[in-house]
Amino acid sequence: MTSQKPRVVIIGAGFAGVEAAKKLGKHGVNVLLIDRHNYHTFIPMLYQVATTVLYPHQIIYPLRRLFRGFPTVNFLQADIREVDFDNQIVYANNVAIDYSYLVIATGSQSQFLGVTGAPENSLPMRTLTDAIAIRNQVLSCFEQAAKVTDEKARTRSLTFVIVGGGATGVELAGSLNELIDSAFKKDYPTLNSNQARVILLQSGEQLFPSYSQKLGNYTEKSLRRQGVKVHLNSKVNKVTPEAVYLEDNTSIFTDTVIWTAGVLAATPETKQSVKTAAKDKVIVEQTLQLCGHKNAYGVGDVSYVDSQQKFNGVAQEAIQQGQTAAENILRQIKGKSPQNFDYFNKGRLAIIGKHAGIGKIGKFELKGFIAWFLWLEVHLLYLPGIRNRLGVFFNWLKSYFFGEGASRIIISTANKEQLTVISEQ
């Protein structure tokens, strides 16, 4: 493929990739966005799909629709096979695509930290398909518990273990506990809701280690008050189909283990070696350019910036890095030098449960109702698509007042490709 105008190839349609494509498209740059899915996923709301608060289609948006107003932005649904930096070619499926500039925004994947049996016997939560699988597993466990007569088997079905006390694990634990409270009382009157347990395992001394000890303590107390069993300093040693085993020889018998404990960069295969840091992140310069490759950029979870600023892998970091990469490419096209990435922290928020949240905006720490309400407001504002926003808002109201969000139907996964079909209506 050749073009007289510079072509920018962007790999990955997450927050960073989409933002870079938008900014370049506004300036009429020839852009090709590549992703294995034809939709953008709003990752912060994945846990609400997993706990039946929202429908899967409410947190995704078709990429072709997203870029209808950008005539120079094109989309290709494909898997990346290899990147050749020297010849400036991206190999996707059976297609070789040349580029003038490259943006790698491939995000992250689950890291099982070498725990025996974890990859085979636990459920990650990084993608829409993962969230649907967790949703199906939880609902299937409810159904299984309703028909078995053996008490040990019922207890195992109604025990849900979440590994990892960061934002994903905490938000999932609180929302899953709310699902149990509402589902049991209405849909499973023959079951004793006291038999159901949500157990959150954290290897460190506090939940939300990226926040202060004060907010970590508040989170722990709030979850315990809701009924979640929180275990700190609890490292997982092994996961089997029937149980989780800790390093202190404690065993927890369960049919459901959800893994949120770690991530690795989802770096594409490259013909030439690249420098990497912890978690397989590609080391980039302050300008976000790959070391030794001035026309290639790494943004979002896939990249490591050696900076005094502290990064936590949240969406706003990816968005701002995508914008910076696009700005630097525009500067390079004009013959100017790229500028360093300067992150502006707008604040962070997380939900623990109904009326309970934490956050930090500037020097101010928030907790309780205000943080919870701000999380809802901010994420509803950033969610793409008017229809999605209206649907999510309606489901939130149903969940808040009636304990009913999305329909609790087990979705068939016989054909996994069906899970990625997006309606253009």
Are 277 and 304 in contact, with CB atoms under 8 Å apart?
A: yes
User: Is 247 part of the annotated catalytic residue set?
Assistant: no
Q: Among positive and negative, which fits the CA dihedral 19, 112, 277, 272? A: negative
Active-site option among 120, 143, 171, 285: 171
CA-based end-to-end distance of the chain: 32
Nearest one of 93, 112, 92 to 11, comparing CA atoms:
92
Burial class (CB in 10 A: 0-12, 13-18, 19+), 226: middle
Q: Give the pair of three-digit tokens for residue 164.
A: 């990892």
Are 90 and 9 in contact, with CB atoms under 8 Å apart?
A: yes
Q: Give the pair of three-digit tokens for residue 310.
A: 């502290």
Q: Give the pair of three-digit tokens for residue 251.
A: 């065993």
Nearest one of 231, 228, 247, 229 to 239, comparing CA atoms:
247
**Cα–Cα distance measured from residue 252 to residue 160, given in angstroms and rounded to the nearest whole number:** 10
**Cα–Cα distance measured from residue 70 to residue 311, given in angstroms and rounded to the nearest whole number:** 31
Q: Among positive and negative, which fits the CA dihedral 305, 306, 308, 311? A: positive
Sequence-distant contacts of 358-367: CB under 8 A, at least 24 apart: 358/208, 358/211, 358/215, 358/218, 358/219, 360/211, 360/212, 360/215, 365/211, 365/212, 365/214, 365/215, 367/215, 367/218
Burial class (CB in 10 A: 0-12, 13-18, 19+), 326: buried
Nearest one of 184, 79, 95, 172 to 131, comparing CA atoms:
172
Active-site residues, by number, are 171
